[in-house]
Amino acid sequence: MTRFIYLSDTHWGTDKPSYSMQHAEPNKLPELLRAMEEWIAKKGPVDFVLHGGDMIDSTSRKNIDFVAQAFQLSVPVYLCLGNHDLTCSNAVEMWLDRAPHFFLGKINFSIETSDCSLHVVPNQWGPVPYHWNDVQKPYFLLEQEKFINNELSRNPNRVHVLSTHSPFHGVPVEQTGLKNLLHQPPRVFQEKGYSILRTHRNLQCILSAHSHINTRIEQKGKYLVTSSSFVEVPFDFKCINISNDQITMSTHSLLDQTNFKSNYYDFTKTFVQGRECDRTIGS
């Protein structure tokens, strides 16, 4: 069995993120990580932690050095770079130089376990690869598409999972109560994701982040998942289990393990945490 934690959007390096869906406490990241370590000790074992991106709020040596140390946990931590992790033109070089343990030698990589292959492929944002400058037009480079297809073609009899930062789906109206899909991605990028999901029968789940909202969309027994921000109340993360070619997922909160003075929650946006069906896969 493979068991790992999935979290995202920690935005270290700012007190007030430019975007949030609930009250954010990014400066409390060290305390939250300690609480998560306690959860792992009680509820484990866990094989590794996957961070879905936006680990930091902007790219700097100072921010990378901090999270490289803060995320030295009892299990390995891997990172799928998000747009906020790529705010300078040499961001990839900085990450590989100062925090190589988040990656397996390169930014696009695969984590192999006894029964699962998890492929980490951070999407692009604009004309300059691996550099975000406010433009939000997600896409994959041709070499990334080749990497995805090649990796998904190997070991066809095991479960495969793909991780990228930008979701291929919007937040359903059934979840939000709004008239239209929230955070609907560009049509071309959405079609690319659904095409990958259809083409590769062994691809069981696509993990994304970016929206700071918990979602779970089912497509013929396969799943597209996004996570809320780990540093926003109530401090959610996911535990994903893969066993006997099946995926189960549960979402957990660390709110009860914190004693922060400000834990304000906006009850007009409970769709951020989602319904039970938006937070789980299987039983």
What is the residue extent of each domain of the chain?
2-279
CATH code of the domain occupying 2-279 = 3.60.21.10
What share of the chain has pLDDT > 90, as a percent? 94
Helices (H), the chain: 29-43, 61-70, 91-98, 142-153, 173-176, 187-199, 276-279
pLDDT, tens digit, 9 for 90 and up, residues 55-84: 999 999 999 999 999 999 999 999 999 999
| Placement of tokens 């095409």 in the chain | 195
Report the predicted TM-score, pTM, of the whole model to 2 decimal places.
Answer: 0.97
DSSP summary character for residue 176: H
Q: Which pLDDT value is given to residue 157?
A: 86
The angle at the Cα of 100, spanning 94 to 106, to the nearest 5 degrees, equals: 85
21: number of Cβ within 10 Å: 19
pLDDT, tens digit, 9 for 90 and up, residues 102-135: 999 999 999 999 999 999 999 999 999 999 999 9
pLDDT, tens digit, 9 for 90 and up, residues 78-108: 999 999 999 999 999 999 999 999 999 999 9
pLDDT, tens digit, 9 for 90 and up, residues 224-239: 999 999 999 999 999 9
pLDDT, tens digit, 9 for 90 and up, residues 263-279: 789 999 999 999 999 99
* Exposed/middle/buried for residue 42 (C-beta within 10 Å: 0-12, 13-18, 19+): exposed
Whether 2 shows a pLDDT value over 70: the answer reads yes
Give the integer Cα–Cα distance in Å for 97 and 91.
Answer: 10
Query: Is 28:258 a contact under the CB 8 Å cutoff?
Result: yes
